[in-house]
Amino acid sequence: MEEQVVLVDPQGSVLGLQEKMQAHRDGALHLAFSVLLYRETDNGKEFLMQQRAMGKYHSGGLWTNTCCSHPRQGETFEQAGLRRLEEEMGIVGLEHLEDVAAFVYRAELDNQLVEHELDHVLVAGVSDLEVTPNVDEVMAYRWWPQAELELALESEPHRFTAWFGKVFEHTLAN
């Protein structure tokens, strides 16, 4: 099945659909979401991060939020986030994701692709969680303590996806 993305204007009004890879070649503004799960520990918050598989169509090997993707036509952001948590990370049983922010960004990526997205940030606090990542999507994952993650973003931003800094910033603000 051909995967399509929902094209939008900067305010989020739907303009139509476009094949996913073509939208990324054209740099067309489209809907996206980024899920970031966290847990509270005795030492503060930890965030569930993934390192993208090298075979991904862009940003392979970079660290990013728990999962991200594009909602399908007629799918809510929460439905899409829960679907991708299962597909990418093997996480099932979560009942709710909170949509805490949305932002537009544009980034030139590898493979002559452009991410130009209206990205919704979806978060949830979790406690006991089983993670069984899809090796086609994820090469590694870890719980990353907040202070250590902030330091890594500041000192080594090239280790992270183009969108993650904004996702993290919006997560902390809410």
pLDDT tens string 111-146? 889 999 999 999 999 988 999 999 999 999 999 999
Confidence of residue 174 (pLDDT cuts 50, 70, 90): confident
Residue of 117, 137, 148, 169 marked catalytic: 117
Confidence of residue 58 (pLDDT cuts 50, 70, 90): confident
Question: Per-residue pLDDT averaged across 35-44, rounded?
Answer: 96
Q: Give catalytic status of residue 98 as yes or no.
A: no
Residue whose structure tokens are 């960004």: 105
Confidence of residue 80 (pLDDT cuts 50, 70, 90): very high
Q: Give catalytic status of residue 148 as yes or no.
A: no
> Residue 170's closest CA among 50, 27, 65?
65
Q: Give Cα separations from 143 to 50, 55, 57, 132 (angstroms).
A: 9, 23, 25, 14
CA 118 to chain centre: 12
CB contact at 8 A, 58 and 20: no
For the chain, list the domains and their CATH numbers.
4-172 (3.90.79.10)
The whole-model pTM stands at: 0.95
